[in-house]
A and B are shown apart, each in its own frame.
Chain A
Amino acid sequence: MRSFFAVPLCVVLIGSPTLGQRRTCQGGACQQQTPPTVQPVAAPPALAWFPATDGTHLLYRGESLVGQWRPVDMKYMTAVKGKLADRGERPPIDPPTAPLETPTGVAWERIEQAIESVTRHGRPATKEEIYEAFALPADSLRDDSKHFRLTIYSKDAAARKKIRDEVARGPAFEQWRPDLLLWDAPPDHWSLDGLLFTQGDEGALLETHDGRVLHHQPNLDVGPLIAALRRADPKRDPKNDPDLSKADPVFIDANFAKKYGPLLALGGIGCVLFFSRRGSPRPKG
């Protein structure tokens, strides 16, 4: 009776995935499944000394400053929250015994010495192409007056991105795209620091390359910006300026009289005849 239950129990236990290791057999060849491996924990970066320009040595662990060694008075300063303080501690590793070399880091021997070479993100380029990219004509050092500087400032990064995309791809800016240098930043960004035009949370400033203000608006509406660019464009022909103050385009059309004159004349004659007949006394009888 005991063996009656014992045999199937053993079969169940041996076949169970929790006991022993399962084997998969494909094509007659059995392969043992590899047990799960434990991921090794990354070792912390090693401590290393680097020379400072004041003759001291700085101790770093990876990107973090750990301390400073002062050879003059053989004192170790501990870095606490980025500040160095004398806490009477010893450096965790031996300080350098000789002055360390000031770090530089250019491999002179790998710089092309025989010929002049220009590349643009790794591909050969010409100087003229680069001058064009500098937004500067190749034949002149200073004549970049055709370029406008458009500065967009807003705390809302998404709003800035919208304008950036509009300037980069939108049809409204197509005409001026080659001549427009765009800069965008939040109003408290260092690059706008101290400039009077950064009052308010957002706005747009259009300048010439040398800082002459052409337009300034306290919002990011594209319409007024385009209008300002149109007015400032040296290639602009005033005759082609649209007059948006007149609402109905029919009355702006200079050819209106030519197109519709005969029709109007016929209509006028028709009206006169119609009313003159209605107004005349009918014969009695």
Chain B
Amino acid sequence: MRFVGLLCVLALTSPAWSQAKKAHVGGPVNSEGVEVQVELPPKFHLKNRGGSDGAGLCVFASLKHASIWQQVEQTVNIFEYMFTRPGGGWPEKVDKVIEIMCKEKGVPVPDYVQYQGRDVDFLMKALTTGRMVGVTYAYSPTGRYGGRKVAHMVNLVHADGTWFAILDNNFPGTIEWMDRAAFLRAWTGGGGNGWAVVFLNPSPPPVPRAD
């Protein structure tokens, strides 16, 4: 009995059990060799900025990233379109901006989805099919933004249930990796709902397999 107890203590304190996936900033391959599901080339990574009133355009930078990735021609210039318009974003505004922008260009509105909730599986399904998702982001698990709560949108580029990774439009060229719990906190701001925007266009074709 004493031997079993000792084994339990050893097992629980072993690094394999006790160590959570440590959040870190890196590239498209993380510290465990996991590669992002969605790898937008760094030359397309945008640097966020403000709109005409100084409020940030992170929502529209994230939508542009996804538009490049999934060839959504109608919204590929949505970030630049907002430079001369007030910044800030929320679900109804995204609907409105996309509708007006497409009307002005005389093109059909692209097929896209907005989700408000806490279901991480919803996001995982989008990532599994190669789509790049715009997600709200309140806390950086690696200490960006001085650890403060922010009102931000970034792109989710990996979600396999264990590892999650985001591309932050304030830190182009880098990928921030985290575990599921850290991502849920970042996405929902701790307790409420998170917001996600997904275009339904397919992703680029897969790299042909060797076999």
Contact = CB atoms under 8 A, between A and B. Distances in A.
A106 B151 contact: yes
Contact of A103 (B44, B57, B189, B195): B57
B13 interface: no
A48 B54 contact: yes
A211 B112 CA distance: 25
Interface stretch (B2-10, B23-31, B178-186, B203-211): B203-211
Contacts of A182: 202
B3 to A, nearest CB: 40
Contacts of A107: 88-90, 93, 151
B115 A151 contact: no
Contacts of A122: 95, 99
B89 A144 contact: no
A116 B56 CA distance: 26
A213 B209 contact: yes
Interface string B113-142: 111111101101110110100001110000
Nearest to A119: B114
A112 B193 contact: yes
Interface centre among B93, B119, B209 (most CB of A within 10 A): B209
A125 B113 CA distance: 9
A105 B59 contact: yes
Categorize the interface residue count of chain B: 35 or more
Categorize the interface residue count of chain A: 35 or more
B193 A142 contact: no
A120 B56 contact: no
Contacts of A239: none
Contact of A207 (B44, B91, B124, B206): B206
B89 A105 contact: yes
Given A182-B202, A213-B208, A116 B116 contact: yes
Interface in A154-195: 181-183, 185, 190-193, 195
A134 interface: yes
Contacts of A192: 204-205
Interface of B: 41, 43-44, 47-51, 54-60, 71, 80, 83-84, 87-93, 95, 98-99, 109-119, 121-122, 124-126, 128-129, 131, 136-138, 145, 150-153, 170-171, 189, 192-195, 198, 200, 202, 204-209, 211
12 contacts: A58-B49, A62-B84, A105-B58, A106-B152, A106-B195, A107-B90, A118-B114, A118-B115, A119-B113, A127-B122, A141-B124, A197-B208
Given A131-B125, A134-B131, 9 more contacts: A63-B80, A104-B58, A105-B153, A106-B153, A113-B193, A122-B95, A130-B198, A151-B205, A211-B208
Closest 6 CB pairs of A and B: A105-B56, A103-B56, A116-B117, A110-B90, A211-B206, A191-B204
